[in-house]
């Protein structure tokens, strides 16, 4: 797997932002990136049904779509990636590997688990980019992002919810610490003008960012590391579930459209034949 993924690191890096690009063109895309847990009441992160069907039964699909579906969408992409690995569909393996990485990283961002995702309800407008872009841009050079070996995930849907839970538990700190600093540090010290390419933009000042970063006590690094670990674990799990196909041969080999079509049809037939044996697969 390492050979295959290293070989395609540039593609995956460049395409990791595709899901955000699609948000403006595809209307189904936006809710795949977040879940507004607060709208489901107290302790929602522990109470919302883990599996899609149960959640639809509890709240209706319209409600879920309105407030975000990231925990379930990651699991759906996992099935798609497993299928792409089964048929050796290189372009979809790469596309879906990049996509799932994006959604997993979003799920690790505390502000992706709340309706107050940009501090708009607490007079902290801009905090989203502050936490997920400005802080890593300034400080990630010093992060230790080595996660070690990937491990097989026994129950991916539950593991995804553990991720969401961990992110959501950080939310109070993300909001409260910035609020505290915004009172302690004068407004004109909070921002600075910095250059981005040809233009000047107003950003959070380096001192203000440093103070916020220190108060968070490694949270951005922990969440980033958790993202990396889960992306690796998820790719590995899909590959194992696909029957551990040899990816070396896929590095250079390009299937023709006809071959891909055939293999997809084969998979479809296999699935139809196995549908009764696979009923328990999800739980």
- Contact positions vs Zn ion (CB under 5 A): 20, 33, 106
User: Does residue 250 contact residue 90 with C-beta atoms inside 8 Å?
Assistant: yes
Closest contact distance (angstroms) between CB of 173 and Zn ion is 22
Beta carbon nearer to Zn ion, 231 or 260: 231
Beta carbon nearer to Zn ion, 14 or 20: 20
How many beta carbons lie within 10 A of that of residue 97, not counting itself?
25
Token pair for residue 198? 């040809």
Token pair for residue 228? 């990396």
CA dist 151 and 237 (Å) reads 8
Residue nearest to Zn ion (CB): 33
CA dist 75 and 91 (Å) reads 20
User: Does residue 164 contact residue 70 with C-beta atoms inside 8 Å?
Assistant: yes
Closest contact distance (angstroms) between CB of 47 and Zn ion is 25
Closest contact distance (angstroms) between CB of 218 and Zn ion is 23
Closest contact distance (angstroms) between CB of 190 and Zn ion is 26
CA dist 252 and 110 (Å) reads 40
Tokens 């932002």 found at? 17
Closest contact distance (angstroms) between CB of 65 and Zn ion is 16
SS3 of residue 199 by DSSP? strand
DSSP secondary structure letter of residue 118? T
Beta carbon nearer to Zn ion, 166 or 215: 166
Closest contact distance (angstroms) between CB of 20 and Zn ion is 5
User: Does residue 35 contact residue 71 with C-beta atoms inside 8 Å?
Assistant: yes
């Amino acid at each position: 797997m390492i050979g295959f993924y290293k070989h395609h690191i540039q593609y995956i890096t460049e395409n990791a932002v595709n899901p955000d690009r699609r948000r403006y063109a595809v209307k189904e895309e936006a809710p795949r990136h977040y879940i507004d847990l607060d709208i489901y009441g107290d302790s929602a992160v522990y109470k919302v049904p883990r599996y899609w069907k149960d959640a639809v039964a509890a709240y209706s699909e319209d409600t879920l779509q309105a407030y975000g579906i990231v925990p379930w969408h990651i699991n759906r992409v996992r099935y798609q990636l497993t299928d792409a690995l089964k048929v050796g569909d290189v372009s979809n393996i790469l596309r879906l590997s990049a996509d799932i990485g994006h959604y997993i990283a979003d799920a690790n961002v505390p502000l992706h688990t709340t309706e107050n995702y940009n501090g708009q309800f607490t007079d902290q407008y801009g905090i989203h980019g502050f936490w997920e872009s400005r802080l890593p841009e300034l400080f990630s050079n010093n992060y230790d992002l080595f996660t070690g070996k990937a491990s097989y995930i026994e129950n991916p849907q539950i593991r995804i919810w553990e991720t969401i839970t961990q992110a959501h538990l950080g939310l109070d700190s993300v909001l409260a610490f910035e609020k505290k600093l915004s009172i302690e540090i004068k407004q004109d010290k909070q921002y600075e003008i910095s250059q981005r390419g040809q233009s000047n933009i107003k950003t959070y000042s380096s001192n203000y960012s440093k103070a916020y970063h220190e108060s968070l006590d490694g949270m951005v690094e922990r969440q980033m590391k958790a993202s990396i670990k889960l992306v690796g674990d998820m790719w590995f799990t899909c590959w194992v579930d696909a029957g551990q196909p040899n990816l070396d041969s896929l590095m250079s080999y390009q299937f023709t459209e006809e071959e891909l079509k055939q293999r997809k049809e084969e998979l479809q037939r296999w699935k139809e034949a196995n549908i009764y044996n696979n009923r328990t697969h999800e739980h």
